[in-house]
Amino acid sequence: MEFRSILLGFSLYLVYFVDIVISRHTSSFVRSEWPSTDIPLDSEVFAVPKGYNAPEQVHITQGDYDGKAVVISWVTTSEPGKSEVLYSKEEHKYDRTAQGRYTNYTFYDYTSGYLHHCLVDDLEYDTKYYYKIGTGDSAREFWFQTPPAVDPDAPYAFGIIGDLGQTYNSLSTLQHYMHSGAQSVLFVGDLSYSDRYEHNDGIRWIHGAEYRPELGEVATFKPYLHRVTTPYLASKSSSPMWYAVRRASAHIIVLSSYSPFVKYTPQWWWLKGELQQVDRERTPWLIVLMHAPLYNSNEAHYMEGRVCGPRLRVGLYNIKLTSSLRAMFTPTRDRTVSLTSTTT
């Protein structure tokens, strides 16, 4: 299946700054009763690509600040193979090559596959590119579309997915996105869950939640940092956990709910500087992504965003973005709390 989605972040919180919001209409979707049914591991949707050492788990992320580069990532399981991408603007006629790198990591008795990341840059805006990874009969071919140039009138459709999981509902979410007409997906975190698997081998989520200090592992987000590449240096960030990109008519800021956020910390200083870079004349849409909502009444995560919430609200308010603010959306909870409220 051709893959054309751009992965842009790890988080679960979305703020839209818009001039006009129509709130009279909502979805007719009705959530099924918890718990939803996990997809079995032998399902066709989890099928491994055919061929020896074939690239799998292929995904792409924006590779620079303004959308003229991508990072193509994939996994090989038997041996490293080549971290090389062949690409061109014509299908099957690959006239350009980009060299990447690979890494892997261990956790307790688990060793990951070979994780490849390859930067493809100097691309043209609003252009379809074809690319090929792997070698011989195991090679795989895909395509992607670059965004239009950064411009206030550039139309662009984002899909938003958070807390995906590995259930039939998860599959339905992906299918809805694929048929939505969206051009990129803002994936906002939490890939899989170990609910109801207390004494299981962990195969489903071993790459997503490997943190057990009692075993001597102290590096939080180790799997994420190995498997996901973010263009943090392009926005002068000191950490891949927080960064910013511009895409079409949107300025997108990704923050970390689980890194220090108080005044004078690295993330605080970076956000202060990045907010000053927002140019509403060029990017009228400002999207802020976080994992923890600024406010929620969900008993499972009650007040989880309390620490960073008030500081972020004050910061956004003080740079006078509120002249265009009409709504704040979160995928799951308490969407009607005012952004300017700093006491809740």
Catalytic residue among 117, 251, 291, 301: 301
Assigned token pair, 223: 């799997």
Assigned token pair, 137: 């009969």
Q: Which amino acid is at 95?
A: D
What is the chain's percent helix, strand, coil content, to nearest 5? 15, 25, 60
Q: How far apart, in whole angstroms, are the C-alpha atoms of residue 228 and residue 220? A: 14
Q: How far apart, in whole angstroms, are the C-alpha atoms of residue 53 and residue 193? A: 27
Q: How far apart, in whole angstroms, are the C-alpha atoms of residue 215 and residue 282? A: 49
User: Catalytic: 199?
Assistant: no
Query: Any bridge partners for residue 161, and if so which?
Result: 187
Q: Are the C-beta atoms of 110 and 208 separated by less than 8 Å? A: no
Assigned token pair, 63: 């590779």
Q: Are the C-beta atoms of 67 and 147 separated by less than 8 Å? A: yes
Q: How far apart, in whole angstroms, are the C-alpha atoms of residue 58 and residue 184? A: 15
Where are the strands (E) in 54-108, listed by range? 56-62, 70-76, 84-88, 96-99, 101-103, 106-107
| 305-311 contacts at long range (C-beta below 8 A, 24 or more positions apart) | 305/13, 305/257, 307/261, 307/262, 308/255, 308/257, 308/261, 310/342, 310/343, 311/261, 311/262, 311/263, 311/268
Q: How far apart, in whole angstroms, are the C-alpha atoms of residue 94 and residue 201? A: 42
Residues known to be catalytic: 301
